[in-house]
Amino acid sequence: MHQVTTPREGQPMLTVVALAGDTASAVEILELRSENEQLSRALESRAVIDQGCGMVMVLAPCSSERAWDLMVDISQHCNVKLRSVAVALVATTQDEPLPEQIQRELPGALRRLHVTERR
């Protein structure tokens, strides 16, 4: 009997009897579970990114595409994940201050956004 664990959590994901036919099935199950976990994380990230875009659309005011571009711009200039930028923006609704790095970059990103819109 072989026990397969996830490297990150170290907790058993699946215990299988390693027979010739079962090995391929076990590998496929592990791959599908890994993909499922990645998709779940992506959906969670997407929700907060959409909330951040909505905030930018109200504050800037701009289209959803421009709000996305602004958050990507901040993300790239601050060298942080887009999700982190969105989380920081959404956290301001709970009286959390924006991280200094994002505070410094936001005015420039807004200027670049409006310059692009005028073209």
First to last CA, the chain: 66
pLDDT of residue 17: 45
C-beta pairs of 9-14 under 8 Å, 24+ apart in sequence: none
At 4-53, the pLDDT tens digits run 555 555 555 555 444 556 888 888 888 989 998 988 887 888 999 999 99
At 71-111, the pLDDT tens digits run 999 999 999 999 999 999 999 999 999 999 999 999 999 88
- Domain total for the chain? 2
Residue 56 sits in the same domain as residue 98: yes
Task: Indicate if the alpha-carbon torsion angle 53, 37, 77, 99 is positive or negative.
Answer: positive
pLDDT of residue 66: 93
Residue for token pair 């942080």 = 80
What is the span of the domain harbouring residue 105?
Answer: 45-118
**CA distances (Å), origin 20, targets 14, 17, 24, 26:** 17, 9, 8, 11
Helix, coil or strand: residue 97: coil
Residue 19 sits in the same domain as residue 52: no
| DSSP labels, 67-96 | HHHHHHHHHHHHT--HHHHHHHHHHGGGTP
DSSP code, position 14: E
Residue 60 sits in the same domain as residue 98: yes
Q: Quick check: 15 and 4 in contact, CB under 8 A?
A: yes
Residue 17 sits in the same domain as residue 60: no
Whether this model's pTM surpasses 0.85: no
Residue 17 sits in the same domain as residue 69: no
